[in-house]
Chain A
């Protein structure tokens, strides 16, 4: 692989990793702070994509669709938490898995009823539809650079929120000791509702901005969900910094795993193993750090 191609692959890896981070960030918040295993997280990603498609059709452009979509997904998150999720706090992980798995099935059916089963494309906004030529054969779409920029902005916003605001302090305290926070007079229920809505909104936002490049089709959330759990496990549950590092690592392993060939004893290892590479990484990290890279070992 020549140096130019290597750099471009690095760019591909970072772009994929950043998008993964946006989705997994919400998942790790919900899991770390609320203790809820949310299997339906991939479904929220899919809902975001479908919202982008139908809203951009009705409102005329993706620029209008994204803010509208964010508002709708925050409302969806608040509703879901109030109706379903808050019953899970006192229950064990098995009940959480069962309920959120059921949620996946319900969301799939609702999606099929509301939007149908067809595959759809979302047109890129005119402003971002150009491609920057990098070599004489390859050009890099500006839109993908914009996706990465949005992910970086939201990563910074999350950092500021969690580490530098009062709200963030309450969230972090609530993760450590729910009862104590409650006895200090802070409404923990409202806090958890906000965190869940934030997680849903992040996943939906990722679906919305990725929709023009990923296209919109049934069950598109399933693959993403599995990889996101890998991100969360590698990074450490509850750690947003860990989610960022984990996502970037997975982006690198997935991208280079597909194109690198390691001749070992006459066998070509990758990319035959590309499908497994992410999980191999997870296994290696867990063997070294059982709580994940930045997880709290209890």
Chain B
């Protein structure tokens, strides 16, 4: 009896061992085959990590549309290679950024990572890209550190640093006689960095920020702080808000009767993509930004026409940034004939690229951030009209960058 049982057990063990060996060798064989298979397919794997849901969903869609337009205009290929997209919804959640980026890099094995909108998410992605060495392009997130203290050779930005768009605003306001201002924004990275940059520019022009007001992000209950502003009675108010919060702030500001008493200024995000929602409340608002819909140059006109034809909607600064990201990739991959594996050459190509963008021509700074003109705009009849150049070829100081 015992012997029979032992024989049965041993047969079972042998069978299991055989199955394990067959399975293991099949797996090994498959993983040997897949790199060979991939090299032969030659499709460029682009990972898009953008917000497809949540408050920034509109921006994520605009960026992807702009990127795809650049791809179409490049004959559907970058450097002669077709593109396969891998998309992940980052939900503007910094806590999930590492996992999401890892999913694209490790599971989907993307050649280039494009993202994100939210600065917290972008920093999480940057840390993953730094470790894995994957090429990363930032089409919006303005965290100063991404091309500052955390600058990395394989990371480029095609949008702006939080420091850039608001920096010239201080001088603009002083030129108009506002020497004592209140700055109000959300208490998160983009808000705090905008404030720091504004303070710097405002102090350099000889004026002071009398009060800094913060709203917890993404809280949009502004009434208490508007009452506070009215009590302080500053010469002017400067702010940084974007998206739904920008709509509410501008409308609340006007409804509280402050618009005519205390002029409101801000970086251009206050009036980007939200003018129709803001209506009359936004009329006359002066802002500074590295782009304006009404920019009068042939490149912008062509871009807006092509975008409108393809997507039946007006492009905004986010679409333009997505477009420039595609242009940059097209130019760099064209130079290296599609060989994205040769990262040194790709990086050199990107560092030397001259982007013929709808915002004007721009080049990369040493820290991989655009050196660009900042335009002065005023809202007239529901449109951001360019009324001047607030600062020519503004370069982010890239504090703490060691590249």
Interface residues of A (CB under 8 A from B): 1-2, 5, 8-9, 12-13, 15-16, 108-109, 112, 117-121, 123, 131, 133, 135-141, 143-144, 213-220, 223, 254-256, 258-259, 271-272, 274-275
Contacts and interface: CB of A to CB of B under 8 A. Distances in A.
Contact of A119 (B53, B58, B224, B231): B58
A255 B55 contact: no
B251 A121 contact: yes
Contact of B255 (A112, A135, A141, A256): A141
Contacts of A12: 223-224, 227
B273 interface: yes
A217 B255 CA distance: 19
B233 interface: yes
B99 interface: no
B216 A138 contact: no
Given A16-B223, A137-B230, A258-B225, A112 B278 contact: no
B214 A271 contact: yes
A271 B187 CA distance: 10
A256 B221 CA distance: 12
Contact of A108 (B53, B230, B233): B53
Contacts of A144: 223, 255
B53 A218 contact: yes
Given A213-B248, A258-B215, A123 B279 contact: yes
A119 B244 contact: yes
A107 B217 CA distance: 24
Interface string B212-256: 011111111101111110110100000000011001100110011
B231 A5 contact: yes
Contact of A275 (B219, B228, B252, B277): B219
A217 B257 contact: no
Given A5-B227, A137-B257, A258-B215, 16 more contacts: A5-B230, A9-B227, A15-B223, A118-B58, A118-B277, A119-B274, A137-B233, A138-B257, A214-B220, A218-B57, A218-B58, A218-B244, A220-B244, A258-B225, A258-B228, A275-B187
Given A119-B277, A120-B277, A218-B53, A138 B58 contact: no
Given A119-B274, A258-B225, A140 B231 contact: no
B203 interface: no
Interface in B238-288: 243-244, 247-248, 251-252, 255-258, 261-262, 273-274, 276-279
Nearest to A135: B230
Contact of B276 (A121, A136, A138, A143): A121
B229 to A, nearest CB: 8
A219 B53 contact: yes
Contacts of A138: 226-227, 230-231, 256-258
Contacts of B252: 213
Nearest to A53: B277
6 contacts: A215-B247, A217-B243, A217-B247, A218-B58, A254-B224, A256-B224
B388 interface: no
A118 B258 CA distance: 27
Nearest to A16: B221
Contacts of B349: none
B76 interface: no
Contacts of A220: 55, 244
B54 interface: yes
A258 to B, nearest CB: 5
A9 B276 CA distance: 30
Nearest to A7: B227
B61 interface: yes
B46 to A, nearest CB: 22
Residue of A9, A135, A140, A258 with most partner-chain B CB within 10 A: A258
A190 to B, nearest CB: 36
Contacts of B278: 121
Given A119-B273, A123-B279, A274-B216, A219 B248 contact: no
Contacts of B279: 121, 123
